[in-house]
Amino acid sequence: MALMLNTWRCLLAGLCIVLAGNAQAASFNVNPIGFNLSSERSSGVLQIRNTGDQPLRIQVQAVDWSTDGSQEVLRDTDALLLNPPIFTIEPDRMQFLRFGLRHPENSPSEKSYRLLIDEVPQAGLQGSGLKTLLRVSIPVFIGPKIRQEKISWQLKHVSGALQLSAANEGNVHSKINRILLRNAEDKDAVQIGTPAYVLPGQRKEWSLANGKIRDGAVRLHIQTDKGDIEEHLTLEADQVSSR
C-alpha cells in the first residue's frame, strides 16, 4: 500500500518532537539524521533518546522512497530488517535501533529508503490536554560501487506559470538545498529555499510565479549537499501566450 505524504511531513533533519499536554511533556531526538550505506556496509545504528519526563512507546517502519516530480511516495517494503521495530524508552534513556539490508546486493543504481519513527499513543495516560503525535523520517541510501552524478535542468512555461525541473540522469541522489534564478543581466534573483532530494532516474519540479523571470538567458546558482553548481538556461517564449 502506497503512503502519500506531503513534503512538510517528511522531516529531513534531526529534530526534537514535543508533545504538549496539561500535565504531560514528552520529547525525543534522533542521531544521525541520515545514512549513506553500500552493499559492503549494508547496516546502520540509529540512536533515539527520550528527552522528556514520560516513558515513550516508539514504533519504527522502513519504507521504499521515491518521488513523482512534486510529491514524495512511500511504499511498504521488507527490504530492511529492523531490530527492535517497537520499544519503550524511559525518560533520559537511549535506545539503539539496528537495521540492515535483508539481501545485500550490488545494484548499478542507488536504492532509497526511509525510516519512519512514530510515537505510539499509550493507553491509560492521564490528562485531558491536547497531544500532537508527529513523525521523524530518516533517509537511508544504499549506494552503488561506481557513482555517476548528472542532473539536467529545464525551465519552461506550463499552464501560465514557469516550471523549473531537475532530472537525475545519474545513479545517485542529489540534495538541492537552495536555488537562485536570475536573468543574465539582472542582479535580483528568485530564490527557492526549501531543500529537496532528486533521486536517481527521477525528477523534481518547482512552480514559479510568472513575470519574475523573463524569456531569454537565465542563470541558475544551485547549492547542493556536494557543493555549488552554475547552470545557464534559455527560457523560450510561451507559444500559447504569444498567439
Q: What is the pLDDT of residue 241?
A: 53
Say if residue 120 is in the same domain as residue 222.
no
Q: Are 162 and 213 in contact (CB under 8 A)?
A: yes
Say whether both 101 and 169 belong to one domain. Answer: no
Decide which of 143, 170, 188 is a domain's last residue. Answer: 143
Residues forming a β-bridge with 215: none
Phi, psi of 8, rounded to the nearest 5 degrees: -65, -15
Where is the domain boundary, 88, 111, 143?
A: 143
Nearest to 44 by CA among 81, 78, 86: 81
For 221, the domain range is: 151-235
**Which three three-digit cell numbers place residue 25?**
511533556
- Overall number of domains in the chain: 2
What was the pLDDT predicted at 19? 33
Q: Assess whether 73 and 190 both reside in one domain.
A: no
Query: What pLDDT sits at residue 1?
Result: 46
Q: DSSP strand E in the chain: where?
A: 2-5, 17-20, 25-31, 35-38, 43-50, 56-67, 72-76, 80-83, 86-89, 94-101, 111-119, 135-143, 151-158, 161-168, 174-183, 190-192, 196-198, 203-208, 216-224, 227-235
117 and 8 within one domain: yes
**Tell me: the pLDDT tens digits for 23-49?**
344 589 999 999 999 988 999 999 999
| Amino acid identity for residue 139 in this structure | P
Indicate if 161 and 181 belong to the same structural domain.
Answer: yes
Q: Do 136 and 165 sit in the same domain of this protein?
A: no
Query: What pLDDT does 129 receive?
Result: 53
> Does residue 199 form part of some domain?
yes
pTM of the model: 0.81
176 and 126 in one domain? no
Is residue 27 assigned to a domain? Answer: yes
CB 129 within 8 A of CB 114: no
- Which parts of the chain have pLDDT scores under 50? 1-25, 128
Pair (107, 158) in one structural domain? no
Residues 134 and 211 in one domain: no
- Give residue 131's pLDDT: 60
Query: What CA–CA distance (Å, rounded) separates 162 from 210?
Result: 6
Q: Is residue 241 part of a domain?
A: no
Q: Looking at residue 112, what is its pLDDT?
A: 97
CATH number at residue 76: 2.60.40.10
Asked whether 105 and 71 are in contact (CB, 8 A), the reply is: no
